[in-house]
C-alpha cells in the first residue's frame, strides 16, 4: 500500500466557508473516488448549510486520482468479499502498526474534533466505503444524524450517548455490496439499540434521485439549528 496522507485534504462548499452556518453536512466518498465526487450533492442535500467532503488518505492502487479509506477484498465478479469481514490489516508505510481503516478513522476524527464544527448540528454521510466509514466514526460522536448510501455496518465499536439517528439507503440490485449485507446491518444496528431507518430502492450501486430526496428529508428533519 502506498504512503497515506498524514492530514486530510478537505473541500468545502460554499467557499469561503460560512463562519457560523445553521448546520453542517460532511460526506465521505467511496472506494476509488475522491473528495470531488460527492461535492455536487452538498447544495442538493444542505442548501442552506455548510458542506465538507474529505479526501481519503490512501491513494487507490488502480484508479488515477482515486482514493480509498482502506483496502477492499473484491471477488472476481466485482462484489465485496464478505462485507462484514474485517478489512486487511497490513499497515501502510506511514501508518505504523495501525490497520488502514483505523488510520483513516483517526485522521478523520482528528479533523472533525479540531474544526470549529458543532457535531450536534452536523450530519455525517457517505457512499459505499464512505458509508462504512460513516458508521465507523459516526456512532462514536453525538452527530445530529448519519446517512449511509449503499454501505454497511462493519464493526461494533464504542458508541456515543445519545446515539445519532441513522438512515440507510440501499439498492436491491446492488452488484457490489449485496442488499443482504445492508439488511443484516439494519437488523444488527436495531438489535444493538440504534435508531436505524432503512429504505430499499430499485437501483444498483449508486445514489439516484429518490435516494437524494429521502436523504434530504432526513437531513431536514434531524438537523439542529440555532434557536
- Separation between Cα atoms, residue 186 and residue 180, nearest integer Å: 10
Cell of 25: 453536512
- Decide which of 224 and 52 is more confident: 52
Check which CATH number belongs to the domain holding 55 and give it: 3.40.50.1820
**Residue range 124-165, pLDDT digits in tens:** 999 999 999 999 999 999 999 999 999 999 988 778 888 999
Does the residue 54 lie in any domain? yes
- Decide which of 7 and 12 is more confident: 12
Does the residue 69 lie in any domain? yes
pLDDT range class, residue 224, cuts 50, 70, 90: confident
Query: What is the enclosing helix (H) or strand (E) of 123?
Result: strand 122-127
Does the residue 31 lie in any domain? yes
Which pLDDT score is estimated for 227?
46
- Whether residue 105 is predicted with pLDDT greater than 50 in this model: the reply is yes
Which pLDDT score is estimated for 93?
55
The mean pLDDT value for 82-94 works out to 60
Does the residue 2 lie in any domain? no
The mean pLDDT value for 211-225 works out to 93
Does the residue 50 lie in any domain? yes
Q: Which domain covers residue 21, as residue numbers?
A: 10-222
- Separation between Cα atoms, residue 167 and residue 108, nearest integer Å: 21
DSSP assignment letter at 39 = G
**Residue range 25-68, pLDDT digits in tens:** 999 999 999 999 999 999 999 999 999 999 999 999 889 999 99
Q: Which residue has the cell 495501525?
A: 98
Cell of 227: 434557536
With 0.85 as the threshold, say if the pTM is over it. yes
- Decide which of 79 and 24 is more confident: 24
Does the residue 215 lie in any domain? yes
- Whether residue 81 is predicted with pLDDT greater than 80 in this model: the reply is no
Does the residue 3 lie in any domain? no
Q: Which residue has the cell 485534504?
A: 9
Does the residue 227 lie in any domain? no
- Separation between Cα atoms, residue 227 and residue 196, nearest integer Å: 26
120 close to 142: Cβ distance less than 8 angstroms: yes
- Separation between Cα atoms, residue 73 and residue 28, nearest integer Å: 20
Within the chain, how many helices (H) and strands (E) appear? 5, 9
Q: Which SS3 state, helix, strand or coil, does residue 42 take? A: helix
- Whether residue 10 is predicted with pLDDT greater than 50 in this model: the reply is yes
- Separation between Cα atoms, residue 120 and residue 110, nearest integer Å: 17
Amino acid at each position: 500500500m502506498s504512503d497515506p496522507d498524514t492530514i486530510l485534504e478537505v473541500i468545502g462548499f460554499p467557499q469561503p466557508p460560512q463562519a457560523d452556518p445553521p448546520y453542517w453536512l460532511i460526506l465521505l466518498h467511496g472506494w476509488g473516488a475522491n473528495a470531488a465526487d460527492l461535492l455536487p450533492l452538498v447544495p442538493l442535500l444542505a442548501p442552506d448549510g455548510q458542506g465538507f467532503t474529505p479526501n481519503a488518505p490512501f491513494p487507490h492502487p488502480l484508479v488515477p486520482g482515486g482514493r480509498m479509506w482502506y483496502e477492499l477484498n473484491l471477488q472476481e465478479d466485482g462484489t465485496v468479499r464478505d462485507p462484514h469481514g474485517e478489512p486487511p490489516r497490513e499497515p501502510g508505510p506511514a501508518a505504523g502498526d495501525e490497520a488502514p481503516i483505523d488510520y483513516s478513522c483517526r485522521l478523520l476524527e482528528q479533523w472533525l474534533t479540531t474544526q470549529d464544527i458543532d457535531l450536534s448540528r452536523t450530519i455525517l454521510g457517505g457512499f459505499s466505503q464512505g458509508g462504512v466509514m460513516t458508521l465507523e466514526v459516526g456512532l462514536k460522536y453525538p452527530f445530529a444524524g448519519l446517512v449511509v448510501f449503499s454501505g454497511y455496518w462493519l464493526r461494533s465499536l464504542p458508541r456515543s450517548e445519545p446515539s445519532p439517528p441513522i438512515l440507510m439507503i440501499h439498492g436491491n440490485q446492488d452488484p457490489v455490496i449485496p442488499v443482504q449485507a445492508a439488511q443484516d446491518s439494519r437488523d444488527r444496528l436495531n438489535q444493538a439499540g440504534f435508531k436505524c431507518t432503512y429504505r430499499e430502492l430499485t437501483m444498483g450501486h449508486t445514489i439516484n434521485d429518490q435516494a437524494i430526496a429521502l436523504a434530504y428529508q432526513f437531513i431536514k428533519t434531524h438537523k439542529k439549528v440555532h434557536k
